[in-house]
Amino acid sequence: MMQPNLIAERYMPIWNAARPFLNVRNNDEHTLVAYALAVQFLKVTPDADPDVVLPTILLHDVGWKKVPQDLLLLAVGRKPTRPDLVRDHELYGVEIAREILTELAIDGIKPQPILDIIDGHDTDNTARSINDAIVKDADKGWRTTPHGMRTIAGWYNVPLSQVVLMLQERSNPHMLTPAGRTLAEANTAAVSAEFKIKDYLGHGPEFDTVTAQEDTEW
């Protein structure tokens, strides 16, 4: 059975234009998974506008391309030392996205609502609109997916259990919609349950685990 395309044909020009700016820090992969989450969130949020949400997801992280690559991991994690770079990538992202959207001029897709969400998608934890909330939940919700957890663990060479702790402490509480909150809490609960399989059954997957009291510098 042939799988349907992930990105709707309407938004493919945006993806093609954004892709050269996304080939840093797994942003291209992250964007595709976040797009899939946004599509699902839209199905249960009839008041949201796909022509705002989906282009924004495709463009929200293009600004990381202008941030020095050796500093990227200092901007995120449990103890980021360069949070200023998060704001920088939003501002760069607005500039790049404006150029892309202006050049493409896709009928019915208005640049300003998209740019308004990119400007603050990481540094403002509030929902300024339902479209903003879905974008933020799809973006942060990626961290709780299997792909997101594996990717983050690989960035910092830390156990998966530390990633789960980070999500429970810093990410899950900031989910803005019922669908996003359910996704994040269910995903982290499922992985936490995997850690306990061996305790209950005497066999199961092996994990390097940490407790909530342990601290790390990543």
Q: How far apart are CA 53 and CA 50, in angstroms?
A: 5
pLDDT of residue 182: 97
| Residue 209 reports pLDDT greater than 70 | no
Range 185-194 average pLDDT: 95
Domains of the chain, CATH where assigned: 9-201 (1.10.3210.10)
pLDDT tens-digit map of 21-77? 999 989 999 999 999 999 999 999 999 999 999 999 999 999 999 998 888 777 776
pLDDT tens-digit map of 87-98? 999 999 999 999
| Sign of the alpha-carbon dihedral angle for 173, 64, 84, 131 | negative
Give the orientation angle of helix 50-59 with respect to helix 111-118, to 10 degrees: 50
Instruction: Kindly state the percentage of the chain with pLDDT values over 90.
Output: 76
Closest CA to 80 of 122, 111, 35: 122
Residue type, 176: L
pLDDT tens-digit map of 82-138? 888 899 999 999 999 999 999 999 999 999 999 999 999 999 999 999 999 999 999
Is the CB of residue 152 less than 8 Å from the CB of residue 93? no
Is the CB of residue 61 less than 8 Å from the CB of residue 30? yes
Q: What is the pTM of this model?
A: 0.91
